Structure 1
Amino acid sequence: MRAAVVAKSEFRVAELATPVPGRGQVLINVSRCGICGSDLHARVHADEMADLAAATGYGHFMRSEHEVVLGHEFSGEIVEYGPGCRKRWRAGTPVVALPIVRQGRQPHAVGLSRSAPGAYAEQVVVQESMTLPIPNGLSAEHAALTEPMAVAWHAVRKGRVGKGQTAFVIGCGPIGLAVITMLKAAGVRTVVASDLSPRRRQLAEVCGADVVVDPAAESPWTATPKPPRLGGAEDLLNLAFDTMEKLRRVPNLPWWYLFRIGHTLNATPAGPVIFECVGVPGILDQIVAAAPLLSRVVVVGVCMEPDRFRPALAINKEIELRFALGYDPGEFRDTLHMIADGKVDPAPLITGTVGLDGIPNAFAALSNPEVHAKILIDPASAVAAP
């Protein structure tokens, strides 16, 4: 089969042996594969990413000298099964799969490990237990975006945004656009999106953002149609005084029980929920400094460098930090069906398609935020430029 192989940051298209599915695995023909920001990072920062993965207990991430077939956002069709499979679907059935396989008891990240070649290829091996049939005649292009949209759905669920709360999305690259789309699918009424790029701001509007801000010209924190209830520490203290004065007017009221109930029921934060989708040093400190009191910050952008922020400032404002990575199988399945049922439209994210020979040009094009968001790979295509 033909596949795009990367080593030491350079791509080449090669003829590789047809993959053989192992126990519990399935071979699929690749229909489409998305180029992910993780792929862009892995091409040039594989060793740093491998060190980070090793620090969390996964020691099989690709290294710069490894020859690897990237690609973990894909759709395809069933070809054949390995031993020990239940053979749930006929050959030719359109499917997607979580990009993870297991050899014995050793899991491998598909497309980010030399032991699990990815979908920048005509064929890829997946785990049968992690494979899902594509419902409702959903196109291969849209089905391939299940993986990145599931990342966004996981982040939105981590944020626990109330429908009446304001959600801020800082950074409108592919993952920020996906977060906006999923916030609107979740019924959040007010989404404020911020990005320096005019093109990305345009796409944010298409994805459903209610307010779109150029942070070089306007602060996203003051652009919301509903100003935060608590502007500063004095507002919070005055709220405490006002609340206690009202409660103490009622004789013999065990007012402290009301506070206990309030803490028990507090699934959503009192302030807005902010999604950091930039992933560059300094942005987290900027958010902590500018965000309203009692905000919840969900960090989705992957910063590959050491960073600094002021914990004391976050403490004084009682800002909650949450970090989001990936998704679980249920979120992956639900995302696929949300797309197939028309509740989520990933089409605005897709800005180009190339064949295997066009991958280097696609990587170069993705360095310019004014042109592309998500470029798909069609292994059967001869298109060399997105």
Structure 2
Amino acid sequence: MSSLPDAVTAVVAHGAGDLRVETQPAPQPAPDEALVRIAYGGICGSDLHYWRHGAAGESVLRAPMRLGHEVSGTVVVPSADGGGPAAGIDVAVHPATRGTAPGRYPPERPSISPGASYLGSAAHVPHTDGAFASHVAIPTRLLRPLPPGLGLRTGALAEPASVAWHAVERAGDVTGRTALVIGSGPIGALAVAVLKHHGARRVVAIDLHEHARATARALGADETLAATDAEAIAAVEADVVLECSGSSPGLESAVRGAVRGGVVVLVGLMPSGPQPALLSLVVTRELSLVGSFRFNDEIDAVLAAMADGSLDVGAVVSHEYPVGRTLEAFEAAADASSSAKVLLTFG
């Protein structure tokens, strides 16, 4: 297979505070895998947690792991079994594999299947390496050809936009409704764009940082509020609230900002263990609390919407760094006061 590189450049987390750009042996694709030359990779909150803490929630690093699951690239060697995109096709990546562990779950919701795996996740041992590398062997079932006219830079946003799309749809029909987004980091800002795409009449976004609020406005928010303005948040009386901060103060704001009988979708991953919550108000206002975890097949609709221009998410990108400046890129992504989505470029 002469098109294989001799070696690849990869971003690997070795433990808390130990992030390295290193050379790894070239991948040897299995028959159902294509070799993809990675163009862009978005830094996710989970990547930041592995770098800073050596864990993302209860997924703890027990061995070095290549990071990254928000990627786009070009197929350079198609799969040997002929089942995937041809060489030269630009692709986005759906990073999830349905679990095979026994356990009941709705079959149309594989994101919550027991034992599901995700690129760049330490949830299982051995860990599932991610796609932050110059070339990666990826199962063709995970590849999504980019529609005509959709560039690789935008294609790298398909995964986080799908998380936001899934969250919005967990709320039900938002047409004509008032929506409140708690936390305007990358997922929250993308949720603003998806809410407008889905027909929300009014979208209010809150955050601690003006930079994040400005990003939300650029993606369609009708109004933004400081996260400290409790009175204004409560006055929103939103039909639908998306809690994207993953914090107990954010959850409190979500409950207080919801109209009686409203829906609160929990998108941000809360720290493990018990969390304080205003459950008395949930009861007396008959609020519906709904969980939202990753996504299922929404990436196909997201790619189509981005391609036809009905979902414009480009404003979420605040920085781009070449892979050789990965640590600088991670430091930028960790500073919510001055960044939104940070992309790595792999040349």
Note if contact 1:194-1:220 (Cα within 8 Å) is conserved in structure 2: no
Where 1:325 maps in the other structure, the secondary structure is coil
- For 1:351, the aligned partner's letter is S
Query: How far did 1:98 drift?
Result: 0.7
Query: Which structure 2 segments of 5+ residues have no match?
Result: 1-7, 102-114
Which of 153, 158, 161 is the equivalent residue of 1:141?
153
1:341 CA drift (Å) = 1.1
TM-score (norm: length of structure 1): 0.77
Aligned to 2:244: 277
Query: Contact between 2:85 and 2:140, CA under 8 Å: does it hold in 1?
Result: no
Q: Does 1:362 align with 2:307?
A: no
Out of 4-13 and 104-113, give the one that drifted further. Answer: 104-113
The 1:162–1:217 alpha-carbon spacing in structure 2 relative to 1, beyond 3 Å, is closer
Deviations 1:268-301 (A, max 9, x none): xxx6110101111343234324533111100111
16, 21, 45: which one aligns with 2:29:
21
Is 1:73 aligned to residue 70 of structure 2?
yes
The amino acid of 2:146's aligned partner reads I
Q: Aligned partners of 2:244, 2:198: CA distance in 1, in Å?
A: 18
What amino acid is aligned across from residue 275 of structure 1 in structure 2? L
The 8 Å contact of residues 46 and 56 in structure 2, kept in 1 or not, is answered as no
Shift in CA distance, 302/107, structure 1 to aligned 2, threshold 3 Å: closer
> How far, CA to CA, are the matches of 1:134 and 1:96 in structure 2?
6
Identity among equivalent positions (%) equals 30
- Report the AA paired with residue 296 of structure 1: V
Aligned to 2:143: 131
Partner of 2:110: none
Relative to structure 1, the CA distance from residue 8 to residue 282 in structure 2 (aligned partners, 3 Å threshold; closer, same or farther) is: same
Aligned letter for 1:13?
Answer: V
Structure 1 pair 89/107, CA: closer, same or farther in 2 (3 Å)? same
Q: Which has more radius of gyration?
A: 1
Q: Which has the higher helix share?
A: 1
Aligned length: 322
Aligned to 1:325: 293
Partner of 2:3: none
**C-alpha distance in 2 between matches for 1:148 and 1:13:** 24
CA contact (8 A) 1:281 1:305 kept: no
Which residue pairs with 2:5 in the alignment? none
Change (3 A) 1:310 1:203: closer
Which amino acid letter does the alignment assign opposite residue 335 of structure 2? Answer: N
TM-superposed CA distance for 1:222, in Å, is 5.6
Give the equivalent residue in structure 2 for 1:89.
Answer: 85
1:336 corresponds to: 303
Distance 1:110 1:290, change over 3 A: closer
CA distance in 1, matches of 2:256, 2:100: 48
**1:160 corresponds to which residue?**
172
Q: Normalising by the residue count of structure 2, what TM-score does the alignment of the two structures yield?
A: 0.86
Whole-angstrom CA distance in 2 between matches of 1:158 and 1:370: 29
Distance change >3 Å, CA 41–CA 151, structure 1 → 2: same
Of the candidates 170, 175, 178, which is equivalent to residue 187 of structure 2? 175
Deviates more, 1:17-26 or 1:109-118: 109-118
**Residue ranges of structure 1 left out of the alignment (5+ in a row):** 52-60, 229-270, 381-386
RMSD in angstroms over aligned alpha carbons?
A: 2.3
Using the TM superposition, name which of 317-326 and 158-167 deviates more: 158-167
